[in-house]
């Protein structure tokens, strides 16, 4: 296939003096780099969760309003994903990625200096829009190199590393507040991590966009490329399906601090419980990377979706009991987050498969649809928190069933398809 090695076109490598004389980037390093780029977003979301009470108290924010610090970032990131893909298809992945990283760094510093709750929410919205590039570009960079179930395997490995950050981010955030005495230092840590990633990318990442795949910056082809990426029947069900199931996950993230701390009275254990759930997703993504090329992304993800529906039904039953405890909630939530590990990377890879020639635009368009729908749904679910786990459990079940219907639409009613080899 084209660009089988991971070093990029020789002409492109020579254009970047930072890469001169250095060995080409290997698959392992590329996976780590893409994972940690995406993890910057996860850290920006999850590290602040333990500090939401302190933040709300400092700014006088009441009730569920504190969730806006997380929810607006997720929603803005989804909206922002419309922008980087087309520019990356024209100018290359590296320049657009540096713009995203620069914005992430500067706006993290600005958030640390915010003087009101409204100002912080506004800055988080802008940060989400500009930092969308670090969400949208890694799948495009991987698609530049591989396709088929091999892409699903690489994306699963990326998610293994990526999910280690949500597992430890709340603990890091809690430790920063304990040591520094102020939640604002969490945003300082975000800026520092962004600087570290920018240096690594500058030194080691070659341009992955092939010269023949460069697209013009004209409205008509951009609209055409993005429209095709989100209207093709074979892929739209997977884009919408992943938006729905991850909307349920975002709902958990938005309300997790209140749910675990208030409903179950385990606020001090929140970072540990959150880490357990995120670690389960990481383990399942690793497991997916080991089996997906053998059994195929469709077979693995379809089985996982049916299992997700069954576990969500059990969650709703327990949540409807008057005496639900943390000991039933956490195992079931961890089980469903594990199943997401067999759904997310596979759904995303299936949706990207037909669009190797316009990977940037396709990643942006699908990311926009997935993130905005999922973030908006997650915000509604989180804001529906009523002191119990019932709204979350009902939402998880409903979104999973709807996701299955969308997948059935894309597959014309036939599930468990055969593996797809990388033949680009």
Per DSSP, 263 falls in state I
Cα angle 188, 137, 165; round to 5: 45
- 8 A C-beta contact, residue 341 and residue 288: yes
Per DSSP, 116 falls in state S
Strand, coil or helix: 283: helix
Per-residue pLDDT of 45-85, as tens digits, reads 888 888 888 888 888 877 677 778 887 887 788 788 777 77
| Structure confidence at residue 168 (pLDDT) | 81
Instruction: Identify which of 392, 288, 255 has the alpha carbon closest to the alpha carbon of residue 333.
Output: 392
**CATH code for the structural domain at 11-410:** 1.20.1250.20
Helix (H) or strand (E) holding 200: helix 184-204
Tokens, residue 423: 């033949």
Helix (H) or strand (E) holding 109: helix 93-112
Rounded distance between C-alpha atoms, residue 303 and residue 169, angstroms: 30
- Please state the rounded mean pLDDT for residues 384-410: 89
Per-residue pLDDT of 322-366, as tens digits, reads 887 888 888 998 898 889 888 887 888 888 877 766 766 777 788
Q: How confident is the model at residue 19 (pLDDT cuts 50, 70, 90)?
A: low
Per DSSP, 114 falls in state -
| Structure confidence at residue 408 (pLDDT) | 93
Residues, the chain? 424
Count how many Cα atoms sit within 13 Å of the Cα of residue 256 in the half-sphere of its side chain: 33
Q: How confident is the model at residue 262 (pLDDT cuts 50, 70, 90)?
A: confident
Instruction: Detail the DSSP E strand segments found in 297-354.
Output: none
Neighbours of 309 (CB within 10 A): 18
| Structure confidence at residue 420 (pLDDT) | 61
**What residue ranges do the domains of the chain occupy?**
11-410
Whether residue 10 has pLDDT greater than 60:
no
Q: How confident is the model at residue 193 (pLDDT cuts 50, 70, 90)?
A: very high
- 8 A C-beta contact, residue 422 and residue 354: no
Rounded distance between C-alpha atoms, residue 236 and residue 219, angstroms: 22
Neighbours of 269 (CB within 10 A): 15
Strand, coil or helix: 113: coil
Per-residue pLDDT of 91-142, as tens digits, reads 888 999 999 999 999 999 999 999 998 999 999 999 988 888 888 788 888 8
End-to-end C-alpha distance for the chain, whole angstroms:
5
Q: How many helices (H) and strands (E) does the chain have?
A: 18, 0
pTM higher than 0.75 for the full model?
no
Least reliable range by pLDDT among 140-144, 164-168, 232-236: 164-168
DSSP string over 42-101: HHHHHTTGGGHHHHHHHHT--GGGGGHHHHHHHHHHHHHTTTHHHHHHHH-HHHHHHHHH
């Amino acid at each position: 296939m084209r660009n089988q090695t991971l070093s990029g076109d020789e002409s492109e490598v020579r254009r970047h003096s930072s890469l001169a004389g250095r060995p080409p980037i290997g698959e392992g390093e590329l996976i780590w780099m893409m994972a940690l780029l995406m993890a910057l977003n996860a850290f920006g979301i999850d590290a602040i969760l333990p500090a939401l009470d302190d933040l709300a108290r400092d700014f006088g924010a009441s009730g569920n309003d504190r969730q806006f610090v997380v929810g607006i970032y997720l929603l803005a990131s989804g909206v922002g994903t419309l922008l980087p893909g087309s520019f990356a298809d024209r100018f290359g992945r590296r320049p657009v990625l540096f713009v995203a990283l620069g914005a992430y760094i500067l706006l993290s510093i600005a958030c640390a200096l915010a003087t009101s709750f409204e100002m912080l929410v506004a800055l988080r919205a802008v940060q989400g829009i500009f930092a969308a590039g670090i969400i949208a570009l890694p799948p495009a960079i991987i698609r530049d190199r591989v396709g088929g179930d091999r892409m699903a395997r690489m994306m699963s490995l990326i998610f293994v590393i990526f999910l280690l950050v949500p597992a430890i981010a709340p603990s890091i955030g809690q430790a920063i507040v304990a040591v520094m005495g102020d939640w604002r230092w969490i945003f300082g840590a975000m800026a520092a991590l962004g600087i570290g990633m920018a240096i690594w990318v500058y030194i080691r990442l070659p341009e992955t966009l092939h010269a023949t795949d460069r697209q013009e910056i004209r409205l008509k082809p951009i609209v055409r490329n993005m429209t095709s990426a989100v209207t093709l029947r074979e892929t739209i069900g997977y884009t919408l399906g992943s938006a729905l199931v991850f909307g349920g996950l975002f709902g958990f993230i938005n309300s997790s601090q209140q749910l675990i701390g208030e409903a179950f009275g385990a606020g001090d254990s929140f970072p540990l419980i959150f880490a357990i759930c995120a670690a389960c997703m990481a383990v399942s993504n690793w497991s997916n990377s080991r089996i997906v090329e053998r059994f195929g992304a469709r077979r693995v993800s379809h089985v996982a979706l049916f299992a997700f529906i069954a576990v969500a039904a059990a969650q709703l039953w327990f949540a409807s009991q008057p005496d639900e405890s943390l000991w039933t909630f956490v195992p079931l939530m961890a089980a469903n987050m594990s199943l997401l590990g067999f759904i997310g990377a596979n759904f995303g890879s299936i949706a990207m498969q037909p669009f190797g020639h316009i990977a940037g635009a396709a990643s942006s368009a699908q990311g926009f649809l997935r993130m905005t729908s999922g973030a908006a749904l997650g915000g509604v679910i989180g804001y529906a928190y009523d002191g119990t786990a019932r709204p979350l459990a009902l939402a998880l079940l409903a979104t999973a069933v709807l996701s299955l219907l969308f997948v059935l639409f894309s597959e014309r009613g036939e599930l468990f398809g055969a593996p797809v080899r990388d033949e680009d």
